[in-house]
Amino acid sequence: MLNEEREAIEALGWQTINVYGYSHATGWTIGIYCLSGTWESILWDGKQVHARFPSPLAAAQLHVEIIRNATALD
């Protein structure tokens, strides 16, 4: 992963756990897995998988939208 991508993810509030994942203060995680020979990033809220992405940055960006929409409903 490029340092620029990692920095962009961290700027969205994510903490790097290791080269295979990130965690967020909201309790969500992004896991980076090799599934059937393809690298995917999976956005997880602790109860369910929300989506699979080609990059962890795309997962982090969806997280921003989900949290924004959830707080707008409060």
Per-residue pLDDT of the chain (74 residues; tens, 9 = 90+): 578 999 999 999 999 999 999 999 999 999 999 989 999 999 999 999 999 999 999 999 999 999 998 887 76
Domain boundaries, the chain: 3-73
Distance CA(36)–CA(66), nearest Å, equals 28
Distance CA(51)–CA(36), nearest Å, equals 17
Position 2 scores a pLDDT of: 77
Model confidence, pTM = 0.89
